[in-house]
Amino acid sequence: MLSLIFRAIALSLVITLLIVSNPALAATSKVLPIRPPSFEGEIGTTYKESTSDFPTPITAPKNAPNVLLVLLDDVGFGQASTFGGSIETPNLTRLAEKGLRYNQFHTTALCSPTRAALLTGRNHHSVGTGVVAELATGYPGYTTILPKSAATVAEVLRQNGYNTAAFGKWHNTPDYETSAVGPFDRWPTGLGFEYFYGFMGGDTNQWSPALVENTKRVAPPINNPDYHLTPDLVDHAIAWIRSQQSIAPEKPFFTYLAIGATHAPHHAPKAWIDKYQGKFDRGWDKLREETFVRQKQLGVIPANAQLTPRAKEFPAWDSLSQDEQRIYAHEMEVFAGFLAHTDYEIGRLIDGIDKLGELDNTLVIYIVGDNGASAEGGLTGSVNELKIFNRIPESQEQLLASLNDLGSPKTFNHYHAGWAWAGTTPFQWTKQIASHFGGTRNPLVVAWGNQIKDRGGLRSQFHHVIDITPTILEATGITVPTEVNGVKQQKIEGTSLVYTFDDPDASSQRKTQYFEMFGNRAIYNNGWVAAARHPRLPWQGTINADFEQDPWELYNIEEDFSEANNLADKNPEKLEKLQKLFLSEARKHKVLPLDDRVSERFDVKIRPFLDAGRTTFIYYPGAVPIPEGSAPNLKNRSFTIKADVEIPENGAEGVLLTQGGRFAGWGFFIEDGKPTYTYNFANAERYIIQSPEKLPPGKATIGFDFDYDGGVGAGGTGKLFINDQQVAQGRIEKTIPYRVALDETFDVGRDTGTPVVDTYQVPFAFTGNLQKVTLNLK
Strands 66-71 and 362-367: parallel
The DSSP 8-state label assigned to residue 192 in this structure reads T
What rounded mean pLDDT belongs to the chain?
94
Beta strands in 526-627 (DSSP E): 528-532, 552-556, 616-619
Angle value at C-alpha 263, between 664 and 426, nearest 5 degrees:
135
The DSSP code sequence of 270-337 is: HHHHHTTTTTTTTHHHHHHHHHHHHHHHHTSS-TT--PPPPPTTSPPGGGS-HHHHHHHHHHHHHHHH
- pLDDT tens by residue, 671-705: 999 999 999 999 999 999 999 999 999 999 999 99
Q: In 3D, which of 16, 70, 690, 767 has the Cα closest to residue 442?
A: 70
Enumerate the H helices of 543-694 as residue ranges: 572-588
* Domains defined along the chain, listed by start: 66-506 (3.40.720.10), 610-777 (2.60.120.200)
d(CA 124, CA 142): 9
Question: Given a cut of 60, is residue 15 above it in pLDDT?
Answer: no
Q: Please, which contacts does 715-722 make with residues 24 or more away whose CB atoms are closer than 8 Å?
A: 716/638, 718/677, 718/679, 718/687, 718/689, 719/689, 720/675, 720/676, 720/677, 720/689, 720/690, 720/691, 722/675, 722/691, 722/693, 722/695
pLDDT of amino acid 316: 98
Are 259 and 203 a contacting pair, CB within 8 Å?
Answer: no
The answer to whether the peptide bond before residue 56 is cis (omega within 30 degrees of 0) is: no
Provide the pLDDT confidence category of residue 223 given band limits of 50, 70 and 90.
Answer: confident
Calculate mean pLDDT across residues 174-196: 95
Of all residues in the chain, the percent with pLDDT exceeding 70 is 96
Q: What is the pLDDT of residue 225?
A: 85
Find the DSSP H helices in 534-693.
572-588
**Across-strand partners of 364?**
68, 447
pLDDT at 6 over 60: no
Summarize pLDDT for 86-144 with one digit per residue, the tens.
999 999 999 999 999 999 999 999 999 999 999 999 999 999 999 999 999 999 999 99
Confidence of residue 219 (pLDDT cuts 50, 70, 90): confident
d(CA 381, CA 432): 17
Question: pLDDT-derived band of residue 614, with 50, 70 and 90 as boundaries?
Answer: confident
Helices (H), 187-282: 229-247, 270-274
User: What is the arrangement of strands in the sheet containing 528-532, beginning at the earlier edge strand?
Assistant: 512-517, 520-525, 528-532, 552-556
Q: What is the pLDDT of residues 373-405, one digit of tens each?
A: 999 999 999 999 999 989 898 889 999 999 999
Question: Going by DSSP bridges, is the β-strand pair 253-258/31-32 parallel, antiparallel, or unpaired?
Answer: unpaired
Distance of CA 607 to the CA centre of its chain: 20
pLDDT of residue 610: 63
pLDDT band at 9 (very low <50, low <70, confident <90, very high): very low
